[in-house]
Amino acid sequence: MDEQLQDALKSLPHGPSFRFVDRLDSLDPGHEAVGIYQIRGDEAFLEGHFPGFPMMPGVILLEAIAQLGGVVAQSSLDDETMTDVRLTGIRAAKILGAAVPGDILHIRAKLEGRMGGLVQIEGEVAGPHGVLATARVTLSGTIA
């Protein structure tokens, strides 16, 4: 099953330098997933955010939710396959804490609804000291 989980990550169109899900811990295809990202400390954005006290930008925490949500949406066994899936909306976002190099982030994304090429995802990112971000994101794609 572990190989199947990792194969699901191949649906992400992002290159390695902009992928914020390292591995999947669980996947209920088309419904929900839990993923992991470890902040290595060498990510380019950390150099300027912030010198002397690097932390992962809140918008990237939201991007991690969207990326995992894309995996959930594209893994559905009941819905039509989508291509060119992109983040198109963010609602009810809250940044509740900071993530720093060495932190292991637990990302959860749950599909709330789908209509054609639009997908609504609810998710959160948690670090070693609790929840860091929550949001509802909308993804859009082309029905293949």
Per DSSP, the three-state class of 128 is: coil
Residue 110: phi and psi, rounded to 5, are -125, 130
Closest to 34 measured CA to CA, from 46, 44, 18, 23 = 23
Catalytic residue among 31, 49, 106, 129: 49
Letter for the amino acid at 105?
A: L
Letter for the amino acid at 79?
A: D
Query: Is 14 labeled as catalytic in the residue annotation?
Result: no
Active-site amino acid positions:
49
